[in-house]
């Protein structure tokens, strides 16, 4: 077991190919490579999806919460470094449950635990919380591949 470390936005930008408006992780609070990660997303009224989901009662779409969790898991996979031609694909989801609305002003705390990883396929248990309450949880599968392959 390694020493838990944190990752700032500059390193996140080096590890993930996502950019605004689709980068959904602001900071990694703690990571133990190849084991667990805790990250955060500050949810603000300035998010472009709130213009249409829903203008009179803005709610973060569940699919974007799951995407934020997948990005968190990708950071766990690439915590030390990402090969220049490596790309991370969302390959599957099981048991997704949404239990709390995520609203502007919330801080989404996301965790991912590597359950199994081999041959470029990784499985994670993921969870998103707001103020200590579970907002969403699932088991996700992701694949690391070479761009264009």
SS (H, E, C) 36-47: EEEEEEECCCCC
Choice among 53, 96, 103, 117 that is catalytic: 53
Provide the edge-to-edge strand list for the sheet that holds 121-130. 5-7, 27-32, 36-42, 107-118, 121-130, 133-146, 86-98
Reply yes or no on whether 53 is catalytic. Answer: yes
Which residues form the catalytic set?
53
């Amino acid at each position: 077991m390694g020493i838990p470390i944190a990752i700032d936005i500059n390193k996140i930008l080096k590890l993930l190919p996502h950019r605004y408006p689709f980068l959904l992780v602001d900071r990694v609070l703690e990571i133990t490579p190849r084991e667990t990660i805790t990250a955060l997303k500050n949810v603000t009224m300035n998010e472009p999806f709130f213009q249409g989901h829903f203008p009179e009662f803005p709610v973060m779409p569940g699919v974007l919460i799951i995407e934020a969790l997948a990005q968190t898991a990708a950071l766990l996979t690439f915590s030390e470094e990402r090969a220049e031609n490596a790309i991370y694909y969302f390959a599957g989801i099981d048991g997704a449950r949404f239990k709390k609305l995520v609203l502007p002003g919330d801080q989404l705390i996301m965790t991912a635990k590597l359950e199994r990883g081999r041959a470029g396929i990784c499985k994670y248990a993921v969870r998103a919380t707001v103020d200590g309450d579970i907002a969403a949880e699932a088991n996700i599968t992701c694949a690391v591949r070479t761009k264009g392959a």
